[in-house]
Amino acid sequence: MLAGLLRSVFGFAQFRANQLEVCEAAVAGRDLLLVMPTGAGKSLCYQLPAIARGGTALVISPLIALMEDQAAKLGALGLRVGRIHSGLERGVARQACVDYLQGSLQFLFIAPERLRVPGFAEMLAKRKLALIAIDEAHCISEWGHDFRPDYRMLGQHLPGLRGEGDRAPVLAMTATATPSVQADIIAQLGMVKPTRFIHGFRRENLAIEVVEVPVPERAGAICGLLADPGRRPAIVYATSRKNAERLAEELSLTLSGGGTAGRAGLGRRIAAAAYHAGLDAETRERVQTAFQAGELEVVVATIAFGMGIDKANIRTVIHAGLPGTLEGYYQEIGRAGRDGGMSRTYLMHSYADQRTHDFFLNRDYPPVDHLNEVFKALRAEPQAVEGLRAGSRLGEEEFDKALEKLEIHGGARMDFGGGVTVGGTGWKKTYAVQAQYRAEQFEKVLRFTEQNECRMAALVRHFGDVADAMRRCGVCDVCDPAGAVLRLFRRATAAERELAQRIVEELWGVAYKAAGTLQRSLDPGGRLSRNEFDGLLGAMVQAGLIEIEEAEYEKDGEVRRYRKVKLTEAGRELRAGTVINHPSDEDLSLGAPMELLISDGLVEEFGGRAPAPARAKKGKATAKIGPATGAGGKGLEAAEPVRLTAEGEAVAGRIREWRAAEAKRLRVPAYVVLHDRTVAALAEARPRNARALLEIDGIGLAKAQKFGEALLELCRGEPGG
C-alpha cells in the first residue's frame, strides 16, 4: 500500500534509505523519534503515513517559513491543507478552523504558540487525529541548540490531542539531536515506548574546511571565494544583523567572473541580500523567495535563516564566525549539496569570536540576581507582565530575559490570559546547570576548530554514532590538506621533523602521554609555544602517525580536560632512527612516511600572508586556490576546461573505469575518490613518478599514498590497481 501511495501521490518510484521502516512504524500507530539529516526526506515520513491512516494530521512547526513551504508543496500535490499562524489574516485562520472541524483537511499546520490561545487546544481535541507530527523537535529540549519556550508546553496538551483508545501516534522529527537531547525530547513529550530511528549523520558530499581568519580579513576572503560562479548559490552565516547587512553590501559590489576579468569590471555583480530577524516580514519573505527561485545567488544571514529552506543546489556554506553549538553548525552546513553534488563549507574563526560568544552568553543567561529580583516580585495571584516590568529596576530587555528564564525553569507560570504567577523555588539549581551546559557547548565548538581529526568523523561522533566515526571522509582540510581552498599549509622545518621523530620515540612502548607532559619532557626550555607544538602534533595526526583523544579527570571537585597522545599503527612501524623525511625531487617514494604539513593560516589570494618558499602546497613554492570543489585551481581566475588528445582521452577513460570500481568497493560516490577535473589533469599530464603525481591538482598526500601506485600504472597504460 505504501509503495503505491508513494508513486500515485508523490510521484516517487522508490523510498530513500530508511524511509520505509519509519513509515511502516507510523502507520502501525507507534510513537517514534526520527533523527535524520537535512535533505534525507524526513517530511515524507509523516506525510505518507498520514495519508495512509486517513483523517487529519496535525503538524506543529516552529517557523512560519517552514510550514508555508511544506503546506505549499502538499497543496501542489492536490492534498487538502490548512495552516494557522500569526502571519495569516484572521479570516484565513478562521476558515482553517472551520475546515478542520468539518473533517475536510488532510493536514493542519500550526505554530506552537497557538496552543496558548484559550480554547484552541480544546477545539483541536474535538476531532480524532490521524497522527501528530512535531517538526524541528530539538526545539523542545532545553538542552537543544535552538530551544523554543513555546515548545515546552506541547507535552501538557498532547494527552488531550491524542484522544482515547486507539490514540494518535506522536512523531518527533529533527535533523540534529545528541543522545541527551533525544532522551529529553521523549521525556518532555511523554512518548509511549517510542521507536528511535537515528540515521545517516555522515554527508559524503560535504568538504569541511576550518581556517583561522582575523575578523577584518573575512569580508575580503568571502568576496574572493564567491566571485567564482562555481561556488554559488551560497549561504553566508554572519554573527550579527549589522555584519549580515555589511557583508551583503560588499558582495553586491563584487564582480563575478573571477580574477582579473572581475576586477576589471568585465563580469557581473553578485546578486546578494541580507536576511535577519530585524527585517520586516515582507522583506524576509521576498529575500527567501528570490533565493529559492534563483534570482538571488547569495544570502548573508543570521541563524534566523535556513529552517525549512529546500534549495537543492547550494554549493557553499560559509560561517563568518563561530556558531554557538555543533548541532546548529551541522544543521547549517547540511543545507549545502542536497542535490548530491560536491559542496564545500568554510568555518572562519579567531580569538575575537570567543569574546562575541561571551557577550551573547551573558545576554541570554543573565545573572541569578536578575532572576531573583523578578521572582521576589511574583505572587500567587496573577499579575500583568507590563506592571511587573514597570516596577522593576531592570531594563526592559533584562526583565524580559529574566522572566523568560524563570518560566522555563519553573520559577514563574504564565496563564493563557497573559498573567504571571509565582512558581516553585527549585529554579536556581536547574538554571545554573543549563547556563553551564551552554558554556560547555561552545567549548565543544572551540575544540572542533582545534582538533586534527577528520571533520566529518568528529561531527558523526558528536551525535553518538561511534562506529561510523572511525571512517575518514577523505575530502576535508584535515584528510586532504592539498585540496584546501582557504587554508594554507607549510612543510615542517628540519627542527620540527627532528622533534616529530622524538615524539614517536617518546610514545614508543606506552599507551599514551598527555600532550602537556609530552611537550614539557621534549622541550623543557620552552622554545616552542603551545600553539607551535599543537601545530606539529596536528601535522603528525594528518600524517597518520599519532592519534589525539580528548579526556578529563576530576580534582578538588573541578573537572579538568587534557589530551591523550598515542601512536597509531603507522607510528609504531617507525623504528627508532627512521627519519621522517622532507621529500626532495630525487627522494620520494609512495611507501615512505608522509611529509608533515603544518597549518599556516590564510592563503595570500584571500588576504593572508605571502607564502614563503618553505610555505607551500603540493610541492609548489606558492599556494594555489581551488574552485568550488576544493581541487587546486588557477588563483581566482576561472579554470579553463582541459582539452585532451586522443591518447589523453584513452587514459581518462581508464582512470574513470578504475574510479567507478574503487568507489563501489569503498561504498562512496565517485567524486570522493577523484574529481572529474583531477581525472582530466592526470590524463593530460600522465605523471611517471610520485613527485609528478603530487603536482596534480586534487592529488594530496592521502590520495597519493592510497591510490598512487594504481594511478601511475593507469597513466603509463598499464592495467592499474
**Phi, psi (degrees; rounded to nearest 5) at 612:** -80, 165
Residue 576 has pLDDT above 60, yes or no: no
Q: What is the DSSP string of 209-240?
A: EEEE--HHHHHHHHHHHHTSGGG-SEEEE-SS
Please list, in sequence order, all residues whose beta carbon lies within 8 angstroms of the beta carbon of residue 113, skipping any fewer than 6 positions away: 86, 150
Q: What is the mean pLDDT of residues 640-659?
A: 84
- At 99, the pLDDT band (50, 70, 90 cuts) reads very high
Q: Which of 433 and 657 is assigned the larger pLDDT?
A: 657
Tell me the three cell numbers of residue 301: 544571514
Residue 568 has pLDDT above 90, yes or no: no
Return the pLDDT at 618: 39
Three-state secondary structure call for residue 551: strand
> Any idea which of 2-6, 230-234, 427-431 has the lowest mean pLDDT?
427-431
What is the C-alpha to C-alpha distance for residues 389 and 412, in angstroms, rounded to an integer? 14
Q: Which run of H or of E encompasses 653?
A: helix 646-666
Answer whether 689's CB lies under 8 Å from 718's CB.
no
- At 597, the pLDDT band (50, 70, 90 cuts) reads confident
646-715 CATH fold: DNA polymerase; domain 1 (1.10.150)
Return the pLDDT at 604: 62
What is the C-alpha to C-alpha distance for residues 505 and 457, in angstroms, rounded to an integer? 28
What is the C-alpha to C-alpha distance for residues 23 and 39, in angstroms, rounded to an integer? 17
What is the C-alpha to C-alpha distance for residues 680 and 686, in angstroms, rounded to an integer? 10
Return the pLDDT at 692: 83
Question: Within a 10 A sphere around the Cβ of 716, how many other Cβ atoms?
Answer: 12
| Amino acid code (one letter) for 461 | R
Return the pLDDT at 149: 64
Residue 289 has pLDDT above 60, yes or no: yes
How do residues 339-348 score in pLDDT, each as one tens digit? Answer: 889 999 999 9
Return the pLDDT at 719: 59
Residue 639 has pLDDT above 80, yes or no: no
Return the pLDDT at 433: 82
DSSP code of 194? P
Return the pLDDT at 374: 93
What is the C-alpha to C-alpha distance for residues 64 and 282, in angstroms, rounded to an integer? 13
Answer whether 22's CB lies under 8 Å from 6's CB.
no
Residue 308 has pLDDT above 70, yes or no: no
DSSP code of 6? I
Q: What is the mean pLDDT of residues 384-389?
A: 91
Q: What is the mean pLDDT of residues 200-216?
A: 89
How do residues 496-507 score in pLDDT, each as one tens digit? Answer: 888 888 898 889
Q: What is the DSSP string of 325-393?
A: -HHHHHHHHTTS-TTS--EEEEEEE-HHHHHHHHHHHHHHS--HHHHHHHHHH--SS-EEHHHHHHT-S
Q: What is the mean pLDDT of residues 626-646?
A: 45
What is the C-alpha to C-alpha distance for residues 602 and 608, in angstroms, rounded to an integer? 5
Sort strands 316-319 and 234-237 into parallel, antiparallel or unpaired: parallel
What is the C-alpha to C-alpha distance for residues 522 and 501, in angstroms, rounded to an integer? 11
Return the pLDDT at 668: 64
Tell me the three cell numbers of residue 449: 576548530
Sort strands 316-319 and 343-349 into parallel, antiparallel or unpaired: parallel
Answer whether 249's CB lies under 8 Å from 386's CB.
no
Per-residue HEC secondary structure of 670-711 comes to HHHHCCHHHHHHHHHHCCCCHHHHHCCCCCCHHHHHHHHHHH
Residue 327 has pLDDT above 60, yes or no: yes
Most confident of 124-133, 450-459, 572-581: 124-133
Return the pLDDT at 414: 79
Residue 132 has pLDDT above 80, yes or no: yes
Return the pLDDT at 150: 67
Residue 513 has pLDDT above 50, yes or no: yes
Q: Is the peptide bond before 233 cis (omega within 30 degrees of 0)?
A: yes
- At 304, the pLDDT band (50, 70, 90 cuts) reads low
Residue 551 has pLDDT above 70, yes or no: yes
* CATH architecture, domain 486-606: Orthogonal Bundle (1.10)
Return the pLDDT at 701: 64
CATH of domain 206-357: 3.40.50.300
- Count helices and strands (H / E) in the chain: 28, 21
How do residues 240-271 score in pLDDT, each as one tens digit? Answer: 899 999 999 999 887 665 443 334 344 568 89
Return the pLDDT at 634: 28
Answer whether 385's CB lies under 8 Å from 409's CB.
no
What is the C-alpha to C-alpha distance for residues 705 and 693, in angstroms, rounded to an integer? 11
Q: What is the mean pLDDT of residues 31-40?
A: 84
Return the pLDDT at 25: 95
Q: Which run of H or of E encompasses 4?
A: helix 2-5
Please list, in sequence order, all residues whose beta carbon lies within 8 angstroms of the beta carbon of residue 323, skipping any fewer than 6 positions away: 237, 303, 329, 332, 445
Residue 32 pairs with which residues in a beta bridge? 171, 195
Where residue 27 falls (left for φ over 0; alpha for ψ -120 to 50; beta otherwise) is alpha
Residue 570 has pLDDT above 90, yes or no: no
Q: What is the mean pLDDT of residues 41-49?
A: 92
Residue 593 has pLDDT above 50, yes or no: no
Return the pLDDT at 636: 27
Residue 490 pairs with which residues in a beta bridge? 598
Q: Beginning with the edge strand found earlier in the chain, give each strand of the sheet holding 383-384 in spatial order.
A: 383-384, 419-422, 412-414
- At 609, the pLDDT band (50, 70, 90 cuts) reads low
Q: What is the mean pLDDT of residues 140-150?
A: 65
Sort strands 234-237 and 298-301 into parallel, antiparallel or unpaired: parallel
**Phi, psi (degrees; rounded to nearest 5) at 239:** -85, -10
In 368-491, where does DSSP find H-type helix? 368-377, 385-390, 396-408, 427-450, 455-462
Return the pLDDT at 148: 67
The residue to which cell 592521502 is assigned: 702
Residue 214 has pLDDT above 80, yes or no: yes
- At 143, the pLDDT band (50, 70, 90 cuts) reads low
Question: Within a 10 A sphere around the Cβ of 683, how many other Cβ atoms?
Answer: 23
Q: Which run of H or of E encompasses 488?
A: strand 487-491
Kindly state the percentage of the chain with pLDDT values over 70. 85
Residue 482 has pLDDT above 80, yes or no: no
Tell me the three cell numbers of residue 143: 538542552
Where residue 29 falls (left for φ over 0; alpha for ψ -120 to 50; beta otherwise) is left
How do residues 215-237 score in pLDDT, each as one tens digit? Answer: 989 999 999 899 989 999 999 99
Question: Within a 10 A sphere around the Cβ of 391, how many other Cβ atoms?
Answer: 10
Tell me the three cell numbers of residue 239: 554573527
Asked if domains 2-198 and 486-606 share a fold, the reply is no
368-432 CATH fold: Arc Repressor Mutant, subunit A (1.10.10)
Residue 595 has pLDDT above 80, yes or no: no
Three-state secondary structure call for residue 171: strand
DSSP code of 641? P
Q: What is the mean pLDDT of residues 327-342?
A: 89
Homologous superfamily of 2-198: P-loop containing nucleotide triphosphate hydrolases (3.40.50.300)
Residue 634 pairs with which residues in a beta bridge? 637
Domain ranges within the chain, ordered by starting residue = 2-198, 206-357, 368-432, 486-606, 646-715
Residue 583 has pLDDT above 50, yes or no: no
In 453-574, where does DSSP find H-type helix? 455-462, 494-507, 515-522, 530-542, 569-573
Return the pLDDT at 586: 35
Question: CA angle, corner 54, sides to 52 and 55, nearest 5?
Answer: 150
Q: What is the mean pLDDT of residues 548-572?
A: 81
Q: What is the mean pLDDT of the chain?
A: 82
Return the pLDDT at 376: 93
448 burial (CB, 10 Å; 0-12 / 13-18 / 19+) is buried
